[in-house]
A and B are shown apart, each in its own frame.
Chain A
Amino acid sequence: MLTSEVYANVRLAVLWIITSYGYYRIMIKCAHPQPKLAFIPIVREYQLGITARREKEGRTLAKLEIFLYICFLLFKILGQESKYIIIPTVFVLAIGFACLIYSFRILSGLCGVFGRKKRWLWLWIFFEPLTSIIWGVDKKFVPVLKLEIIDDPGVGESGTLVSAVDNGLTVNITKRTVIDFFRKKYLLKDIHLNIPAGHMVLLLGGSGAGKTTFVNAVTGYEQADASILLNDNDLYKDYKEMKYDVGFVPQQDLMRENDSVIRTLMDAATLRLPESVDRASRRERVMQVLEEFGLSSIRNSLVEKLSGGQKKRLSIAMEFISDPSLFILDEPDSGLDGVVARGLFEKLREIADSGKIVIVITHTPDRVIDLFDDVIVLAKDSSRTGRLAYYGPVEDVYGFFGKESMEQILLSVNQKDEGGEGRADEFVENYMERARELAVGKVG
């Protein structure tokens, strides 16, 4: 009895070592920086996911395996004869099945990386040790896609902080990091700028360049290692009070469809205006905002009955009700036709002209660029960190990038694998140089 158990365990151990060695060799072939991780359970699954360009699946599989090991431990503790053995058994079956599905997805990715047909999956599933050894050792198996390891430190930092302006927004973001599955990731780095009151600023950047992270850091919603001053008030320090001075309009029209326009605004006013504002003044403010945004005639309509443009105006009005100094809009023109979008941006220009700071993210900037004062261009550098590639007047941006339109500028900073020119590092460095020169000029 004991001998057969020992034999089974030895057999399992040998198979595990063979499989691990196979994966180790596969990871070497794919230029994985730490192939030895193939010998560490759980970690291996995640690393294999990265190798197979299925990081998300690898992460889930690693988590599932942790649960699986816990269930096995319970198995051992309870013993085969226990009447409660059914509980870990059910979980082992459920988690085991999920593991199989995720392994299938990762191995499917591995087939893609090696340019092999999906029929190999069957061999992988039923003869994993043998297949891993063949793929790892046989020289015929060469990956067509190598693992792209981002160990490039990216562009250096300027470290130059901008001094605060009395009437405007001062942003000094040193860095914004997150811990993602035991790895520290830099989302934003080294962003320093001053936006004077009354300016309307375009926030331009490709997918993953950190636009939303930047906006969240500036509004104090997700605080970074930074100093954000709005009209000389520290937004991070006094976030509880200051958040009412910042209006953020999300991309989607997040409102309750079954409320009327006036009710939506009344509730927004009650939530956002100070308690000292009495009911009559609140109502007066609501009426004023309704008028200003051209919503008076439809004030009793349900939100669900409004057109896309009307919904967007209502969504903006909800934030405008508290008369914030800083107004940030995430793609306010999405889903709107050119004429309606133009009208909306003209309204935003009016808001800026009334002394507010308006920052707008849009993917179709060229049709309304004449309405903006400044442009912020964010770009992913070679370390995939969001960096400031430009901040300054609209007139200068074309010369700085040597392009004729905002779309061309965006393409120039986008990564090559995103269809761009991949020149982000160059522009980030150029901009740092320009910022230094400007700073010296100012001092001089």
Chain B
Amino acid sequence: MSGNTQKHIGRLSQVGIYLGKMFRMFIYQNDWKVLPMSAVIAGLVAFVVGSNLFVTQEGTLLGTFALSCICIWNGFFNSIQNVCRERAIIKREHRSGLHISAYVAAHMIYQAFLCLCQTVITIGVCMYSKVNFPSVSYITPIALVDMGITIFLTTYSADMMSLMISSWVRTTTAAMTVMPFLLIFQLVFSGGFFALSGFAEKITNVTIAKWGLTALCAQGDYNSLPMVSLWNAILKMRNVEYDGIKPIQEIMAYIENNNYREELLLKCAEYNQNAQYASTSSNILGCWGILILFIILYSAIAVVGLEFIDKDKR
């Protein structure tokens, strides 16, 4: 085969080769473990925050924050070591004609499969734990599918972000060192749970957590849910006494006896609505769009990073 001028297989066929390798890795190299791990994490979170998720404003904010955290955690763990652990092999294969874009595309398909499985598992575990999922759909005819798409996109964005990191760092140790920083950044700058203002608030726009959390809150009709924290605070003060009278207890009794409690909780929520969580299809689609943009951006950066693999020292 001297003077080889014949055409070799293109990117599409290479994607097939690498997909095969990845699924074999799923079976033989314990990559499957990420699936039961996601079930355990979802179970723990559902146990802790599930009862008030999509029931009250506070419970929804806390629960969707926790749900976003699960997605980001799962996504990060899926692929943080996948590329860097076989960097030397990729370098050899690149020398033999591997197209980096085909390699990353194969990873994208494989990781999409993992994220989809994790989404199904997370929703399944939450349903089993009696989490009260919203029944109103905004984009697809089924509300649970809407929820699934958000969870999938959040997980997949985080997955692609860690794939990007894995493509740029040279060792698994470096990857595992960077990961906690990214995770804490996502959590702190999610924009929902921690009050941020000014420049710090602007930073939230670049986090996956913010858009995942916003979409989940919008789907959970956050602004229409009752707010209970004020009522709970007042309840704790019911025995406060002035001149032998307990005014707070009297007011509470009045509210309870006239069935004004629910109305008051909703009124309270009305004053604490967040325009960002507006339950509209355009808002949800906007969040999904940004998450998809992240996915495209991270995978493109991963390709660029790996194109420099030949510069790796021996």
Contacts and interface: CB of A to CB of B under 8 A. Distances in A.
Contacts of B201: none
A24 to B, nearest CB: 34
Contacts of B1: 244-245, 274, 322-325
Task: State the 5 A-B residue pairs at the shortest beta-carbon distance, nearest first.
Answer: A274-B6, A258-B28, A244-B4, A254-B92, A245-B4
A222 B95 CA distance: 11
Contact of A275 (B2, B6, B91, B198): B6
Given A83-B198, A221-B95, A276 B6 contact: yes
A221 B310 CA distance: 8
Contact of A238 (B5, B7, B17, B95): B5
A241 B5 CA distance: 5
A393 interface: no
How many chain B residues sit at the interface, stated as a range, is 20 to 34
A56 to B, nearest CB: 12
Contacts of A302: 28
A322 B8 CA distance: 11
Interface in A221-265: 221-222, 230-231, 233, 238, 241-245, 248, 250-252, 254-259, 263
11 contacts: A231-B3, A241-B4, A242-B3, A270-B9, A271-B97, A272-B8, A272-B96, A273-B8, A274-B8, A324-B1, A325-B1
A84 interface: yes
B122 interface: no
Contacts of A255: 89
Nearest to B30: A258
A242 B4 contact: yes
Given A244-B4, A267-B21, A271-B9, 20 more contacts: A221-B95, A238-B5, A243-B97, A244-B1, A244-B8, A250-B88, A255-B89, A257-B29, A258-B28, A259-B21, A263-B20, A271-B96, A271-B97, A271-B98, A272-B97, A273-B8, A274-B4, A274-B7, A275-B9, A302-B28
A250 B96 CA distance: 12
Interface in A163-194: none
A242 B6 CA distance: 10
A161 interface: no
B21 A325 contact: no
B87 to A, nearest CB: 10
A394 interface: no
Interface string A30-45: 0000000000000000
Nearest to B91: A254
B6 A270 contact: no
Nearest to B16: A270
A160 interface: no
Contact of A243 (B3, B21, B88, B95): B95
Interface in B212-247: none
A233 B25 contact: no
Interface of B: 1-10, 13-14, 17, 20-21, 24-25, 28-29, 86, 88-89, 91-93, 95-98, 198-199, 310, 314
Given A258-B25, A271-B9, A222 B310 contact: yes
Contact of B88 (A222, A254, A268): A254
A212 interface: yes
B21 A276 contact: no
B7 A276 contact: yes
B17 A267 contact: yes
Contacts of A324: 1
Contacts of A322: 1, 4
Interface in A118-132: none
Interface of A: 83-84, 212, 221-222, 230-231, 233, 238, 241-245, 248, 250-252, 254-259, 263, 267-268, 270-276, 302, 319, 322-325
B34 to A, nearest CB: 16
Contacts of B95: 221, 243, 248
A83 B197 CA distance: 11
Given A244-B4, A258-B24, A274-B8, A212 B314 contact: yes
Contacts of A254: 88-89, 91-92
Nearest to A87: B199
Contacts of B17: 267, 270-271
A256 to B, nearest CB: 6
Contacts of A252: 88
Contacts of B89: 254-256
Nearest to A83: B198
Contacts of A212: 314
Given A258-B24, A258-B29, A271 B93 contact: yes
A268 B4 CA distance: 16
A256 B21 contact: yes
A275 B7 contact: yes
| Max chain A Cβ within 10 angstroms of own Cβ: one of B25, B95, B98 | B95
A233 B1 CA distance: 13
B234 to A, nearest CB: 35
A418 to B, nearest CB: 19
B24 A259 contact: yes
Contacts of A257: 29
Nearest to A244: B4
Contacts of B86: 256
Contacts of B7: 274-276
A268 B3 CA distance: 19
A255 B88 CA distance: 9
A258 B17 CA distance: 14
Contacts of B29: 257-258
B2 A268 contact: no
Nearest to B2: A325
Contacts of B2: 230-231, 245, 325
Contacts of B13: 270, 275
A257 B86 CA distance: 10
A274 to B, nearest CB: 3
A242 B96 CA distance: 11
| Max chain A Cβ within 10 angstroms of own Cβ: one of B1, B13, B24 | B1
A209 B8 CA distance: 35
A55 to B, nearest CB: 16
Nearest to B94: A221
| Max chain B Cβ within 10 angstroms of own Cβ: one of A233, A251, A263, A270 | A270
A150 B3 CA distance: 42
